[in-house]
Structure 1
Amino acid sequence: MSDGTPIEVAVATDAALGEGPTWDPAAERLIWVDILGSRVHTHRPADGTRTVTDVGQHVGAAKPRAGGGLVVNLRDGVGSYDPDGSFTWLHHDPVPGRRGNDAAVAPDGSLWAGTMRYDERPGGGSLVRIAPDGGTTTLVDRVTISNGLGWSPEDPRYAYYVDSPTRRIDTLRVEEGKVVERRRFATLAPGAGYPDGLTVDADGCVWVALWDGGRLHRYTPDGILDRTVPLPVRRPTACAFGGPGLRDLYVTTARTGLDRPEPLAGSVLVLPDVGQGLPGTPFAG
């Protein structure tokens, strides 16, 4: 159902391709990236404190580390920043014409990191698992635009996964570090937009941002669409729960490629007290 959920602007900014919101409970802050701006942003709602860090190349995601600092999915691979700002490559794998895209930390503390071609060539990307020691395993190959990731709170062997052009959200069952089963969870109708970033709430429901769809969808654990939230932007990119008690849903947005101006495109939106999120897992490396 569509509803009148209140929507506020959490951070008014002009990101070209805002992505990957993540709540960092240790610092009580939201982390997100502007992929094409090569910047990692943070925002602390309690006092409005913000930081912006230029990481020198396109950055698809930034996630907290257990010992402090960040792990980042960059154009040329996956690396980590220590709290003092020093940088180390965990998986340096530069491929001309390819960059990192969305990523998420699995319940076991590993990072699942996706890639895609700049020209969005079908099958040009992949989804890989980066262990805390930097060991790398390919989970899914021949991906076009590797996007949203989340895990079932009932059984962490099951992950939700999006390859955007398929218009599908799939479930992946992982055993001993390998994907042993992939099934369709939900499919968007033509014209509804493309599934992008997602998050899973405490009820096991999947919230997904619809690129070119201008809305959020929530699906029950059975894959039934039970909630639609229209947004004041055409290109929402991802969503994540944060704030006090993980009750607020933050939504990143993009302004790249729009054919007409949108005042809020590129800003971070927030839906206050819209549901109950789950605590995230920091990267164990």
Structure 2
Amino acid sequence: MSAAYEVAVRAEAELGEGPTWDPAAGHLLWIDILNSRVHTYDPASGHRSVRTAPQHVGAVKPRAGGGLVLNLRDGVGLLDPDGGFRWLHHEPVPGRRANDAAVAPDGSLWAGTMRYDEAPGGGTLSRITGDGTAEVVLDDVTVSNGTGWSPDGRLMYYIDTPTRRVDVFDHDGGRVTNRRPFAGIEDGAGFPDGLTVDAEGAVWVALWDGSAVRRYTPDGTLDRVITFPVPRVTACAFGGPGLTDLYVTTARVGLDAPPPLAGSLFVVPGAGKGQAQPAFAG
């Protein structure tokens, strides 16, 4: 089943990623990783802005006290409301960069990394608390990507892209156990990238080189496919005042002849109902 999409922002992002609705500001945040750019888009007014991050940026999320938290090449940094920047957790590793990140129900940031050359096992998933305490949750990761939680917070979904799977863990008090497959992506359908979990507990998965976003019900059944006119669909998130519009980022990196809309931000109005996302507690 397909649905009608609209172009929210026509852009040429090299690696558009990480759409996140900021309810306090009433706008969508999204990034271009390789151009170190943080974008904002206000769907009510159409206003857009772009700022440059200090380094390649894998994710950006709102902070509970105002400002933003950034998953950067060399660690996790804080952007204050006045524009000032400071490191919260600084851990540079040569050849490694940040990738996707998500805020857990307790306000901690679960920040992923990967190697630029995508060497197997070169990435991690770490839990960063508001005071900067960092704990590696998963090592031996290749391309740490989509992370999200069930509405009751008892399950965590996670993607290490080359596995071609969405996995699910039991989640309790910031700890994850009992990793198991939730949904697999068949050959020829692309690779799983970013994900979001809706208010019904269904998991929406963006497919890199798959030109689509898929929705899986809580039991892992595929029940919806939304296709786009570009191959590299990277991530998705619900936004808008009622969290009913699905925003989708895309990329043009590595394409010899990118389609005209590659790198743009898309929206599917009325696609479903998202969950309110917590802000980072730092």
TM over 0.5: yes
Counterpart of 1:64 in structure 2: which amino acid?
P
Of the three residues 229, 251, 254, the one matched with 2:251 is 254
The answer to whether structure 1 residue 158 and structure 2 residue 155 are counterparts is: yes
Counterpart of 2:257 in structure 1: which amino acid?
R
Instruction: Tell me the distance in 2 between the aligned counterparts of 1:39 and 1:60.
Output: 10
Give how far 1:234 is off: 0.2
Of the three residues 159, 163, 167, the one matched with 2:164 is 167
Give how far 1:49 is off: 1.4
What is aligned with 1:226?
223
Of the three residues 240, 252, 261, the one matched with 1:264 is 261
Give how far 1:89 is off: 0.8
Instruction: Tell me the distance in 1 between the aligned counterparts of 2:118 and 2:51.
Output: 27
Q: Find the residue that maps to 1:244 and give its secondary structure.
A: coil
CA contact (8 A) 1:174 1:181 kept: no
What is aligned with 2:4?
6
What is aligned with 1:244?
241
Instruction: Tell me the distance in 1 between the aligned counterparts of 2:130 and 2:76.
Output: 11
Counterpart of 1:195 in structure 2: which amino acid?
P
TM-score (norm 2): 0.98
The answer to whether structure 1 residue 80 and structure 2 residue 78 are counterparts is: yes
Instruction: Tell me the distance in 2 between the aligned counterparts of 1:151 and 1:140.
Output: 16
- Superposed counterparts of 1:170-209, under 5 Å: 170-209=167-206
Instruction: Tell me the distance in 1 between the aligned counterparts of 2:210 and 2:166.
Output: 15
Instruction: Tell me the distance in 2 between the aligned counterparts of 1:198 and 1:103.
Output: 11
CA contact (8 A) 1:137 1:177 kept: no
What is aligned with 1:126?
124
CA contact (8 A) 2:106 2:174 kept: no
Give how far 1:230 is off: 1.1
What is aligned with 1:16?
14
Give how far 1:179 is off: 2.5
Distance 1:246 1:176, change over 3 A: closer
1:52-98 deviation line (CA, Å, top 9, x unaligned): 11113100000000111000000000011110011111110000100
CA contact (8 A) 2:23 2:241 kept: no
Counterpart of 1:111 in structure 2: which amino acid?
L
TM-score (norm 1): 0.97
Q: How many residues align?
A: 282
Counterpart of 2:53 in structure 1: which amino acid?
V
Aligned-residue identity in percent: 66
1:143-184 deviation line (CA, Å, top 9, x unaligned): 000000110013x13110000000000012234433322110
- Superposed counterparts of 1:75-154, under 5 Å: 75-154=73-152
Q: Unaligned regions of 5+ residues in structure 2, if any?
A: none
Q: Find the residue that maps to 1:239 and give its secondary structure.
A: strand
Instruction: Tell me the distance in 2 between the aligned counterparts of 1:165 and 1:64.
Output: 29
Give how far 1:51 is off: 1.3
1:253-279 deviation line (CA, Å, top 9, x unaligned): 000001322111011000001111111
CA contact (8 A) 1:68 1:83 kept: yes
Instruction: Tell me the distance in 1 between the aligned counterparts of 2:258 and 2:170.
Output: 41
What is aligned with 2:280?
283
Instruction: Tell me the distance in 2 between the aligned counterparts of 1:250 and 1:116.
Output: 24
Q: Unaligned regions of 5+ residues in structure 1, if any?
A: none
Give how far 1:244 is off: 2.4
- Superposed counterparts of 1:53-64, under 5 Å: 53-64=51-62
